[in-house]
Chains A and B, each alone.
Chain A
Amino acid sequence: MTEPLLSVKNLRVEFPGPRGPVEVVRGVSFDLGRERLGIVGESGSGKSLTARALLRLIPPPARVRQEALRFDGMDLAAMSERQMRRVRGARISMVMQDPKFSLNPVMTIGSQIAEALRVHGTLPRGQIRARVIEMLTQVRIHDPEHVMGLYPHEVSGGMGQRVMIAMMLIPEPDILIADEPTSALDVSVQAQVLDLIETMIARNGMGLILISHDLKLVARYCDRVLVMYRGEVVEALEAGRLDAAAHPYTRGLLESVPRMNETRRLLPVLDRAWDTEGRGT
């Protein structure tokens, strides 16, 4: 059997707290091939930190430890910062939550996208502009030449997120991490953005890690789903077989979603009685 594209074993992230270190990611392990993996969990469950730990982007005072963090035959954990920079963007990249904050407010959209290409030096200068325009067209922006000259605050949230996707995909990475890519957007454009990500992933044959708090949404766009709770993976499921969920937390999540033709008078809230370690809220 060949090695998976990305392999994470026993990943742990801890922060110093008033009563000694607090572990926020507590031994997460998974493998990823050129497939779509969803990570679901409530806020504070450690899903975003997991994503950032993959890119080694967790700043001190947090500490990251792992048994293994391998990507394409390389040991990410042992890499120097310089080597790591060649992986970021070029091989693994990430779309973040809110384009309002994740795009540089004082650089034009065109120059931000071009920079993603330029830092990895894959294209001669003269071709960069054409490539940026092509990429913007691919993410369904109609007037790319005009949009290139705009500043982020001049475009809508949905368009901002498409710009972000263009920027992250332009160096043609192998894995895209999408960290809550639609939760800051208008409901009407959420599906557009996710469909776009799906199409682009399929076209380039990439791996995707989609992070969200929305179990149904993740199940729709992914092949496999990991459910995280309090820093641990409590359940791993095939996307098509959510009803096979065994863990009480996953079951609770599923129960609390309203259905078509709802017959229940009250939607159940999450019952955390099974969680003896954490305190219910």
Chain B
Amino acid sequence: MARLHLWLTDDAPASRWQAQAGQAFRVARSFARSPLAMLGALIILVLVVTALFAPWLAPYSPVGQNLGERLLPPSWAHWMGTDELGRDILSRVIHGTRITLLIVVMVALISAPIGLVIGAVAGYFGGWTDRVLMAITDVFLSLPKLIMALAFVAALGAGLQNAIIAIAVTSWPAYARIARAETLTFRNSEFISAVTLQGASSLRVISLHVIPLCMSSTIIRVTLDMAGIILTAAGLGFLGLGAQPPLPEWGAMISRGRSFILDQWWVATMPGFAIIVVSLGFCFLGDGLRDVLDPRQREGR
């Protein structure tokens, strides 16, 4: 153990493999030393596990109504109480993890690649390509995201799928900016010239060399944005524009609990806690990742 530790922390690694292992070791260790980052990772892990095993973890059905047990306060039988249709809130929150996870994953899978490609292309080609693409990006960036998402959903019609599309459409510009900035830092470096001199096409250079190098900063940014995506999705759900009943979407659940907030506080507050915990988890994780992987961009927006 002691020798392995010495080998990993050697100032002058003897091989490339040792250097990479040492680097990974340092990253992992400084990540592990940040309690908030670890907490964030733990929360996300729990979220994923809960979403995967929701049917086995939830004590009741998320949609099964039981009008005899309406609006019960939290108890041993119903840890988070029941809602106005007698459904177990805990079970609905547990099943809600699937919807939340689906939204963030889909938004990330749609918007991050769009942003990456636009940014990488703009940064790599420069000139007019860059100017036009960045002008479009800047227009999107200078518009209010939530309002635009609302307007898109209004046009497309309410529903989970359209909510995902609307959020994705308003999220990509930030990634394009980051990818472009990153591309510019190594656009003129030797290794890019070397690859192009070997006859690689622009498509090849961008997809095999430029985009992979932009990945880490984009991933950090996506993680940091997750909380915002969750909040926007919950907001759409709250307005009745996102997931439709009887889906146990957290924002929609809060919306239904609104009428009972004074007497049956748990109906609206419980799903809110779920949103806060998961969003905080992503914030902590993103913050930790940035501190570890990308010390240059600390705290930037």
Contacts of A279 in B (CB 8 A): 12
Q: Is the interface of B mostly helix, strand, loop or mixed?
A: helix
A124 at the interface (CB under 8 A from B): no
**For the complex, what is the distance from the CA of A279 to the CA of B6, rounded to whole Å?**
16
Query: Closest 5 interchain pairs by CB?
Result: A18-B9, A19-B9, A279-B12, A18-B26, A19-B6
**For the complex, what is the distance from the CA of A279 to the CA of B12, rounded to whole Å?**
10
Q: Nearest-CB distance from B61 to chain A (Å)?
A: 52
What is the 8 Å Cβ interface bit string for chain B, positions 4-46, against chain A (1 contact, 0 not)?
A: 0010010010000000000000100100000000000000000
Q: Nearest-CB distance from B274 to chain A (Å)?
A: 38
**For the complex, what is the distance from the CA of A32 to the CA of B26, rounded to whole Å?**
43
Which residue from chain A places its CB closest to the CB of B25 in the assembled complex? Answer: A18
Binding site for A on B (CB under 8 A): 6, 9, 12, 26, 29
**For the complex, what is the distance from the CA of A18 to the CA of B6, rounded to whole Å?**
10
Which residue from chain B places its CB closest to the CB of A18 in the assembled complex? Answer: B9
**For the complex, what is the distance from the CA of A279 to the CA of B26, rounded to whole Å?**
22
**For the complex, what is the distance from the CA of A81 to the CA of B166, rounded to whole Å?**
56
**For the complex, what is the distance from the CA of A19 to the CA of B5, rounded to whole Å?**
9
A-B residue pairs in contact (CB < 8 Å), sample of 6:
A18-B9, A18-B26, A18-B29, A19-B6, A19-B9, A279-B12
Contacts of B26 in A (CB 8 A): 18
**For the complex, what is the distance from the CA of A19 to the CA of B26, rounded to whole Å?**
12
**For the complex, what is the distance from the CA of A18 to the CA of B10, rounded to whole Å?**
10
**For the complex, what is the distance from the CA of A18 to the CA of B29, rounded to whole Å?**
10
Which residue from chain B places its CB closest to the CB of A279 in the assembled complex? Answer: B12
Which residue from chain B places its CB closest to the CB of A17 in the assembled complex? Answer: B9
Q: Nearest-CB distance from B178 to chain A (Å)?
A: 28
Which residue from chain B places its CB closest to the CB of A281 in the assembled complex? Answer: B12
Q: Nearest-CB distance from B176 to chain A (Å)?
A: 32
What is the 8 Å Cβ interface bit string for chain A, positions 1-24, against chain B (1 contact, 0 not)?
A: 000000000000000001100000
Q: Nearest-CB distance from B151 to chain A (Å)?
A: 42
Which residue from chain A places its CB closest to the CB of B9 in the assembled complex? Answer: A18
Contacts of A18 in B (CB 8 A): 9, 26, 29
Q: Nearest-CB distance from A246 to chain B (Å)?
A: 30
**For the complex, what is the distance from the CA of A27 to the CA of B6, rounded to whole Å?**
27
**For the complex, what is the distance from the CA of A228 to the CA of B6, rounded to whole Å?**
29
What is the 8 Å Cβ interface bit string for chain A, positions 266-280, against chain B (1 contact, 0 not)?
A: 000000000000010
Contacts of B29 in A (CB 8 A): 18
Which residue from chain A places its CB closest to the CB of B12 in the assembled complex? Answer: A279
Q: Nearest-CB distance from B13 to chain A (Å)?
A: 13
Which residue from chain A places its CB closest to the CB of B8 in the assembled complex? Answer: A18
Q: Nearest-CB distance from B165 to chain A (Å)?
A: 46
Contacts of A19 in B (CB 8 A): 6, 9
Which residue from chain A places its CB closest to the CB of B22 in the assembled complex? Answer: A18
Contacts of B6 in A (CB 8 A): 19
Q: Nearest-CB distance from A194 to chain B (Å)?
A: 36
Q: Nearest-CB distance from A100 to chain B (Å)?
A: 21
Which residue from chain A places its CB closest to the CB of B26 in the assembled complex? Answer: A18
Within 228-281 of A, Cβ neighbours of B (below 8 Å) are at 279
**For the complex, what is the distance from the CA of A279 to the CA of B27, rounded to whole Å?**
26
Q: Nearest-CB distance from A15 to chain B (Å)?
A: 14
Q: Nearest-CB distance from A188 to chain B (Å)?
A: 33
**For the complex, what is the distance from the CA of A279 to the CA of B9, rounded to whole Å?**
16
Which residue from chain A places its CB closest to the CB of B29 in the assembled complex? Answer: A18
**For the complex, what is the distance from the CA of A279 to the CA of B10, rounded to whole Å?**
12
Q: Nearest-CB distance from B279 to chain A (Å)?
A: 32
**For the complex, what is the distance from the CA of A88 to the CA of B6, rounded to whole Å?**
42
Q: Nearest-CB distance from A278 to chain B (Å)?
A: 11
**For the complex, what is the distance from the CA of A18 to the CA of B26, rounded to whole Å?**
9
**For the complex, what is the distance from the CA of A32 to the CA of B1, rounded to whole Å?**
49
Q: Nearest-CB distance from A205 to chain B (Å)?
A: 46
**For the complex, what is the distance from the CA of A19 to the CA of B3, rounded to whole Å?**
12
Q: Nearest-CB distance from B211 to chain A (Å)?
A: 32
**For the complex, what is the distance from the CA of A84 to the CA of B12, rounded to whole Å?**
41
Q: Nearest-CB distance from B214 to chain A (Å)?
A: 29
Contacts of B12 in A (CB 8 A): 279
Q: Nearest-CB distance from A36 to chain B (Å)?
A: 37
**For the complex, what is the distance from the CA of A19 to the CA of B22, rounded to whole Å?**
13
What is the 8 Å Cβ interface bit string for chain A, positions 24-48, against chain B (1 contact, 0 not)?
A: 0000000000000000000000000
Q: Nearest-CB distance from B4 to chain A (Å)?
A: 13
Q: Nearest-CB distance from A78 to chain B (Å)?
A: 34
Within 104-126 of A, Cβ neighbours of B (below 8 Å) are at none
Contacts of B9 in A (CB 8 A): 18-19
